[in-house]
Amino acid sequence: MTAWDYIVVGGGSTGCVVASRLTEDGRSRVLVLEAGGSDRSLAVSMPAAGLVLALSNPRYDWGFKAEPDPTRDGREDYMPRGKVLGGTSAINGMSYVRGQPEDYDGWAALGCEGWDFESVLPYFKRSENNENGADAYHGAGGPLSVSNIRSLHPLSDDYLRACVAMGIERVADINTPPQAGVGYVPATQRRGRRHSTGRAYLRPAMRRRNLRVLTHAHIRRVLFDGKRATGVEYTRRDRTERAEATRAVIVCAGTYASPQLLMLSGVGPASQLRAFDIPVVHDLPGVGENLQDHPGLAQTCFASVPTYNTLMGPLGALIYGTQWLLAGSGPASTPHAQVTAFLRCEGGEGRSDLQYMFTPAGYDLSADGPVLFDRPAVTGLINLLRPFSRGRVGLASADPLARSTIQPNLFADERDLELLLAGAKLQRRLFRTEPLARSIAGDYRPGPDVQTDDEWRAYLRENALSGYHPVGTCKMGRDDLAVVDHRLRVRGLENLHVADASIMPTIVSGNPLATCVMIGEKVADMIRGSD
C-alpha cells in the first residue's frame, strides 16, 4: 500500500483547490483520486459548447437522475455533475456569484465558528484574479480568473434596461454587498476560455513532484483503524488498490457522492447501513440529510431577432468558432447567462430572495438535459434563493459503482411554491416591458394559457426544476444532524474531512461555485495549521 500525507477524494470544484494549496510547500505528498477523466476538450474549453456538447454527455457529465418527486407530480430531475478534472466547474454556467454576507453570518450563528462573512472574505479574495482589479471585496493575482463578458448580445442589454424600467437598480458589481439589483454576469473565464478549478488550480500544481493525480479512480471506501481514517480503497483499470494517508483523507466528492462514500465506508445512519449489510464504523444520522437546492423555472419566449441558438449551424460554428479561437470573443465565448438580477419578491427593504438569469438563446431544461430550440428565442431562469424545503441523499446499493438515490422534495414546504409563483409572474412582466418587449414574438413556456394563480401552481408542479445547485448533505454545525465541525472534520472520527458543497448548512444566495472555491481555500489553511 502506497503512503501519502494527504489523499484528496475528488478532483472537482473544491478538491482541485485543496490539492493545489496543500502541495505548495513542496514537501507534503498529496494524492488526488478522480473518478472522471481528463478535462482537455473543446467541450470544456469553449464556453458556449458546454451547453451543447458537455451537459448530459456521459463523457463529461455523470448525469444523475433524481427519484420521482412527490411534491411535483412525480417529476424526475436531471442532475448534472462534472465527470472530468475540475468537476462541475468544468461544465457549469461559469457565473461567479458569492451570495450575501448574511448567508455566511447565518452559518456562524449556527455554530460554525470562523465562517462569518468577515472571516471568509479574505479567502474569496485570495482565490480571485478579477479582471477589474483588486478592491475591498475583490482580489487580483489569485489562481481563478473572473472576467467580464467579452461579447454581449443586444437582447441582454434590452433585458437589463427592462429590469431598470421596472424599478430594479442597475449595479456595476453584483458581488459587492448588498446583493440587490441587476448587472452583467462575471464569469470564470480567462481570455474567453472557461477557467475551471482544474485549469486554475490543479493543472499548474501538477508540475510539482509532491502531487500525483489519478483519473478514472473509483473510490470504494475509506479505510479505518478504529475511529481513525487511515486511507482509501479504490478501483482503477479493473484493479482494486489501497492508498494510505498519514495525515488526513479529505473527501471532496460533491453533494451526492460524498455522503454516499461515507455511508459505503460505514459512516452514516446506522439503520440505513445495516439495511445494506454495511458494518457500522460510526453512527452519524445527518449523513445524506439536509439536501437543499434552488427551486427554479426556465421561462422561454420566441424572439423576432436572431438569438444564439439559431447562430450555431455549420456556417455559424465555423465563423464563430474561428473568432473564438483567434480572439477569445464572439458568441462562442458567452457564459450560459449574460445578465443576472437579484431582488426581493415583495419589494421594500430586506434581503433579495429571487435571482433571475437571462440567456439570449432558447432552450428547454428537460428531464434528459438541455434541448436547444430551432427558432430564435430567449430564456429567463429564475431561482428561489433561500428555500424552506429539504430533501435527502441515500444508498441504493452497497455497490460503490451504483448511483446514490436523490430525493429533492423541492416543494415540500408550500412557501417555496408560492414564492416561485410570484417570481415567475414578475419575470413574465419583464418580458413584456420595453425595450425588451419589442423583440419578443410570444410566450412559449409557459404559454398564454397559464394565467391564474391556480394555473401557475399546476404549471410549476409539473415544470419547476432543480437549479443544479445541490448542497448540504454533510452539513457543518453542532446540532444532531451536523456531519462535520467548523474545521470540516467528520464528527467523532479522526483524520477525516469533508470539503465541498455538501458541508454548507444552508444554501448560499446564488450560484455556489465561488463558495466551493472559498471552502477549498479555507480548509487547506485549517489543515495546514493543525499539522
**Residue numbers annotated as active site:** 469
In angstroms, the CA 381 to CA 356 distance is 6
* Amino acid type, 159: Y
In angstroms, the CA 356 to CA 340 distance is 5
Please tell me the total number of residues recorded for the chain in this structure: 531
CA distances from 346 to 110, 243, 418 (A): 27, 54, 12
Query: Of 91, 77, 82, which is closest to residue 369 (Cα–Cα)?
Result: 77
What does 236-278 look like in DSSP terms, one character per residue?
Answer: ETTEEEEEEEEEEEEE--HHHHHHHHHHHTTEE-HHHHHHTTP
Q: What is the H or E stretch that residue 231 is in?
A: strand 228-236
Cα maximum dimension of the chain: 68
- Quick one: cell of 349? 427593504
List, in order, residues 6 or more apart from 301 with CB less than 8 Å away: 377, 378, 380, 431, 440, 441, 442, 443, 444
The C-alpha cell 424572439 sits at 303
Query: Of 354, 363, 443, which is closest to residue 166 (Cα–Cα)?
Result: 354
